[in-house]
Amino acid sequence: MHHLILLLFFSLLTVTTTLTSPESHHLLLPSSRKLRQHDTLYCDSWRFTVETNDAGSWSTIPSICFDFVKDYVTGDRYFSDSKLVGGNSLEFANSINVSGDGKDAWIFDVDETLLFNLPYYQDHGFGSEVFDEKAFDEWMLLGEGIVLPASLSLYKELQQLGFTIFILTGRSESFRNATETNLRNVGYDNWKKLILRGPDDKHKLAVDYKSERRKALEDGGYRIRGNFGDQWSDLVGYAIAQRSFKLPNPMYYIA
C-alpha cells in the first residue's frame, strides 16, 4: 500500500514538472510572442514570393499578414526598398550612352510607382479587402495620390541625363485630367506622353495592353532603355525594355 501511494505521488510530481517547466511550455501552449515571430517570418517569405512573381495570381493578402503589410508599406522598409530600386535604376541609366536624338526612352507606371495611393489603402485595408473598382475610381478623381520620393528622384535624374519620359498607366482616358493634375501637383512634369487605356483597351489584360503600347513606341523609333513599375505586368510581355525595374507592392496583384 505504501509503495502504491509513493508511486502515485511521484507520478503526479512528474506530470506537474512537465507542465510547468520552461522547456515544455512552448510545446504545450505557444506564447503570443512566438506566434507573432512565426507569422512575421511567414509573411516576409510570402512577400518575397510576391516580388519574385512566384506567388502567381492572388486577390487579397493572407489574413495573418494584415498587420505585417500595413507596417511594411507605412514604415521605413518600404521606402528603403523603393530607394534601392531607384538607385539601381539610376546606376543602369548612367551606363547608357544617351544619343541626344530624343529616342532613348524610359517608361514609368503611375499607381504605386509615380503616385503612392497610401491614403486610399489606409481606408481600404492595405490589400486585405477585395479590390473595389468603384471606390478606387472615386479616389483617382480626387487627384490626391502622394509622391513616392524614390520615383520622383529617379524621374528628375533621368530627365537630366536626356532620356525621353513616357508614362504608361492602366488608368482609363476618363481619368486623364485628374491624373495629369495629380502628377504635376507632386512634382512631375515634362513627360513626352501620358498613355492611358482607350475604349478598345477596356477588357485587355494589363500585360497585353502595356506590351502593345510599348510595341507602338518601338515602331515609332524609340529605344526603350528602362521600365519602372510595381507590377510584373508592367514589365513583362513583349517589346520589353533593355532593363526593367520592379518596385515593391504586397498590397495587390494585376495580371
Q: What is the pLDDT along the chain (255 residues), one digit of tens a residue?
A: 544 444 443 344 443 433 333 332 233 334 455 557 789 999 999 999 999 999 999 999 999 999 999 999 999 999 999 999 999 999 999 999 999 999 999 999 999 999 999 999 999 999 998 888 999 999 999 999 999 999 999 999 999 999 999 999 999 999 999 999 999 999 999 999 999 999 999 999 999 999 999 999 999 999 999 999 999 999 999 999 999 999 999 999 999
Whether residues 11 and 116 share a domain: the answer is no
* CATH number of the domain to which 129 belongs: 3.40.50.1000
Tell which residue, 192, 179, 191, 163, has the closest CA to residue 104.
163
Q: Return the biggest CA–CA distance within the chain.
A: 104
Q: How many domains does the chain have?
A: 2
Please report whether residue 251 resides in a domain: no
Whether residues 71 and 167 share a domain: the answer is yes
Whether residues 80 and 198 share a domain: the answer is yes
Q: What single-letter DSSP state applies at residue 189?
A: -
The whole-angstrom separation of Cα 126 and Cα 60 is: 9
CA distance readout (Å), 17 to 3, 44, 234? 21, 37, 59
Identity of residue 188: Y
Tell which residue, 212, 252, 210, has the closest CA to residue 230.
252
Q: Say what the pTM is.
A: 0.85
Whether residues 24 and 51 share a domain: the answer is no
The whole-angstrom separation of Cα 107 and Cα 223 is: 11
Task: Please give the helix or strand (H or E) that residue 104 lies within, else none.
Answer: strand 104-108
What are 117's three cell numbers? 495611393
Beta carbons of 197 and 209 less than 8 angstroms apart: yes
Whether residues 1 and 76 share a domain: the answer is no
